[in-house]
Structure 1
């Protein structure tokens, strides 16, 4: 046992470059997974995805503008632009004054056929804590002998045998996994239906929960997750996100961790609370409300019922916004616009955090706009840097930003050791947390479309927390 503790201690010390870390205790626990046996029906060997086929057929029937196609299909314009970008890159569509199918596109559409559907049973694994679905686990990594009392408490509701409605939200994931299961098959797979959940049961992946202090004099106790002798950051990330939501799933196992002690700083709680599913829910509810508010939908006889439905949806939207602090969901081009908006409208302070800096963004126009911001006496903080990023940064752009720093006292341009965070803060008016790399991705509509997602936060305390956290990256 002493040798095992020493080994764990050495790994923690090496991982965190902390020679004084000491391990207090360790305990095996079971990380819960649900094993699902699903009866599926799907179409394979299709040349096009369904939406790609719809877009091609729209063009052949005279809808030759992106807005015409998006209006006809009933989708957002940026979604149609994304599909068109892919079709153009494959030389299936050409974009001149109007959209037009190439000869390759015409031939491919003519040959497109719907093959006989395939029905078969496949096994999937559902992470019971973070809801991630996979089909690649080997049963060898599970240890079903672990008693449930030693397991991390289950959070997700277990899908029920025979109740396919419990998996409706996982249809896109299942379709993606079916596609990835055969890397040699370049053609798409389209999931038609989950016919039945034939079997579902719990199994446990054995983990080792290690309790330690960063140095002997610390009162604060920390923890780490090991699996097969290695630190597993993904499991820890899931557990910390649940902690941020108030689900302290490790408390029954280690009572030494104080009940009311948050495991992360306030900003990490903010960012951890921004879950992908919450973003999707906000976007879906907003789109549905906008759709119902469209005057074309208001048939006189349905006026009252529609108003009630809108009221209910608004209440649901407000509730999730309040819980997650998400004010609005934005996409690629909108995010770029908000960066320019922050540069031109900030009155007191502006913060930009982005891992990389490249010349296609930090160009003459950007630098000119930034200098105008500095001349308005706005305090500007630009923070960049991620481990191993030196070769990906543009030295000339960095030099130009350093020149601005030398000429203006109100700009702080600093490199942090290792941060993948992307955020902007404009006064106390708004903050954006996103996947968009503000200083290295231009979002040029003339180039291949890349969907990036962001959330706008308008709560003043949340903005302040994010700002202080950004400052701490370089303190």
Structure 2
């Protein structure tokens, strides 16, 4: 199971030459949920000319030349419409004695003409999500949107939007009809004729992703917008007009390079570099990326991915890139069998959410021994108290297996599970949900040498358990 952001990173990390993808952040796109009163009618099955040919023939105008004269259209065009009616089994065409052509309706054609004549406009009230960034009506359902309280709870950044009120002139019948056509639903039979009135019922938000890019010196920072897995250039353009990354409060510090991993010097010499690991990772994720794009995965690609995964698993000391941290944390929470240890200065509810707690509980029910340590400074102002409470409640339920402690001042960012040890500059339990954080080129080291992992585990367990006394 892969973190969705890992697949996004693999898809878009090379989207901007000269820039590095530093992070992928949850964000909220402001929307207004609108009730739109419209004049609509059932969508007709035929083109307008075909409809009029049927209705005139049904009214007794049977000669081809008469149809051409009444409609004011060239005979060749009328003949084409008649041919279309014949293909639908709506009309018959026979030569008359005077050289003209006579047209008659079949029973199916008569029924179609009757149905077309009975269609009349009616008033409807429809609900639409209005995008307050691109100032356009969208097809997103109400269920895809979230409220302000959830945005606050998740600690996610909100895009800058216009303060104008949406009016009737902002939502046109043509725009609504385009949305209906894009649904590709053969059952859609409604055509919007006019927009009569619009009413804003709620100000909501669409969950999206922001891609944060920067050059090696941090002078150029760009923010991409991903909606439903696709880059939205129109939203990025509007975002740039409003001030881009700076206006959003996104700060990059490439000078604050990750600390050297505190591992024995002999392991540093054996450490496989980030560039080599990234190449293998790209190959390993190839099949998953293709599947996410609904592409066919050839057997050759599957074999190459499996080979790359095997090569990565065989490396005993290697680099860990910023987006792989998320994937490895999910692996630890999902698959650890004996032990799990996390050291992170801060804890945010955006990470320690329902899913995180459920995964921890599942591990505890399987008998996995879990240690979590946190703490930086004299208090917990950098952490979310609700997240700390949830962990404390879980600790009470599993006192023999779960150890939770606040350290006085920890800089360490450690993840150990079973025979894996990662030391890094990545904040394991606060990499989401902090709108004030600075974006950096985070990197860590993964060690898979049993005696080294055991020594590190014992060291950090002592540190945590000493904090409990």
Common fold by TM > 0.5: no
Higher-Rg member (1/2): 2
> Higher relative contact order by CA 8 Å / sep ≥ 6: 1 or 2?
2
The TM-score, its normalising length taken from structure 1, stands at: 0.38
